[in-house]
Chains A and B, each alone.
Chain A
């Protein structure tokens, strides 16, 4: 398989996987932040927003220290699951997921805040428990904001560089994504290869935006 195809498929796969991974916790967290008061809420809020405000490379460093061989979470993964994370494709997924999560949570929070509480209340009085209310009222009414947040998170996962390079390194055929590949090729003076990857990135971006526009329009009554 030509390298460019491998890198493209790998990047897409990583972005899809990390988006799917953060979707359930991200949407749940967005709802909890929008609708409930709980102890530690502001701490969680800050933690989730952290990757947005500190440099991606710094986030990568934190992840490296946490998930490295001697890091607390890294040791846990190795001892309990027998899985090594840093400098493997799993580290790429981890880095892109952590970097994309804040975007999804923010969008989900705003989307749920825009759902009138009245409608959720009426749903409860009509016999819906909290779960049925969430899945039949809150979620469908917040769908546009959630979709926008998902696309945003996916785009961030596609293009993530700083955190990924810290925790996954640049291992050809193993951890190189489009963003890492462009940097790698330019470093080595392979400008033509870098421009090819750039072209792929642009095509993917167009595809993602077009898909989201189409989804938005299709679902609007």
Chain B
């Protein structure tokens, strides 16, 4: 995919959008707190909102070009849109919802496509049910299926998990990953949850006040926020791919780079091997390398300081511990440890602070 917004402007009251951004990845995250303009951006791309200026293109298809008077109708864009609550049609059955959407797909492949989608999202048993009888998680799966059977060129997922509780979220997330891996459809994934960005997206853009503040690989954005404002919105975190080596007594050992981490086993479905490791920078404790490492923390590494960045009250320290690790310290603590690039330090993280997400 290459979804591009150039010079897009839109305003209502005090709020204004000014977007110049290009989304190129398989799954691109759009991250921001509520009121950042995420949904407005999504509606502009879907054709439900008309910008006052600018161009929106998908591949070589012009969706909107205000200067040339181009505004492709939503039904002609071929963009699958799933809003937060799924927006299933309540007067139709599950199957009725799917059939409503598949008219756009080429007639020949509809049955095969519907079969494939139902199998992937495991909704074949729900087809005859009225929409009102579905659980929250089932609703979202049906909404995703409905968008997929319409054979979209692009999927817009606007906080598809936000209305679900933690258990349901965890249950729906694997389906999103399956869609990503088995359908060759690019996805723009909107969320304000860092763990969803990490678990699903390749790239992400951080949106605040109607503007894109930073864009880049997910690990990069969390590790190196471009500004204090971005850091405040996304938090500073280490995100690294890893492999589960084995487990014992409720703990899992995970290989990350050349290091080993210990995390709690109960956060992963049994049998998960490929994971993302996620450690919040404020959960990392740094000590002098010479200090004896007798501590309760399960994770202790020796590392070398690669970069030190001073903020107003805190200092962000990038370490190489066999994998890149970010720590957030108070200025005072950083001064006491005399942290400068090249110095060796010890890093401690308690096992419950090592967050593991299936990859």
Q: Which residues of A contact B (CB under 8 A)?
A: 116, 118-119, 121-129, 136-137, 140-141, 221
Contact = CB atoms under 8 A, between A and B. Distances in A.
B245 to A, nearest CB: 45
Given A121-B81, A126-B150, A129-B73, 8 more contacts: A121-B43, A122-B87, A123-B100, A125-B48, A126-B100, A126-B146, A137-B89, A141-B89
Interface in B51-79: 73-75, 77-79
Nearest to A129: B75
Contact of A126 (B43, B85, B101): B101
B74 to A, nearest CB: 4
Interface string B79-95: 11101010101110000
Nearest to B93: A221
Contacts of B89: 119, 123, 137, 141
Nearest to B97: A126
B47 interface: yes
A125 B75 contact: yes
A124 B89 CA distance: 12
How many B residues are at the interface, by size bracket?
20 to 34
Contact of B81 (A116, A122, A141): A122
A125 B74 contact: yes
Given A121-B48, A121-B74, A127 B83 contact: no
A123 B101 CA distance: 8
A125 B146 contact: no
Of listed B43, B91, B101, residue having the most chain A CB within 10 A? B91
Nearest to B132: A221
25 contacts: A116-B87, A118-B83, A118-B85, A118-B87, A119-B89, A121-B48, A121-B74, A122-B83, A122-B87, A123-B89, A123-B100, A124-B75, A125-B48, A125-B75, A125-B81, A126-B75, A126-B80, A126-B100, A126-B147, A127-B78, A128-B100, A128-B103, A129-B73, A141-B89, A221-B132
Nearest to B146: A126
Contacts of A121: 43, 46, 48, 74, 81, 87
B359 interface: no
B235 interface: no
A128 B150 CA distance: 11
A141 B100 contact: no
Nearest to A140: B91
A129 B103 CA distance: 12
Given A121-B48, A121-B74, A221-B132, A126 B91 contact: no
Contact of B47 (A119, A122, A125): A125
A132 to B, nearest CB: 8
A169 B89 CA distance: 50
B160 to A, nearest CB: 13
B104 interface: yes
Given A140-B91, A141-B90, A125 B100 contact: no
B25 interface: no
Nearest to A124: B74
Given A125-B77, A126-B146, A136 B87 contact: no
B324 interface: no
A131 to B, nearest CB: 11
Contacts of B87: 116, 118-119, 121-122
Nearest to A116: B87
B76 to A, nearest CB: 8
B352 interface: no
B268 to A, nearest CB: 34
Contacts of A123: 89, 100
Contacts of A137: 89
B130 interface: yes
Contacts of A126: 75, 80, 100-101, 104, 146-147, 150
A52 B248 CA distance: 78
Interface string B266-301: 000000000000000000000000000000000000
Contacts of A129: 73, 75
Contacts of B100: 123, 126, 128, 136
Nearest to A143: B91
A125 B91 contact: no
A124 B43 CA distance: 12
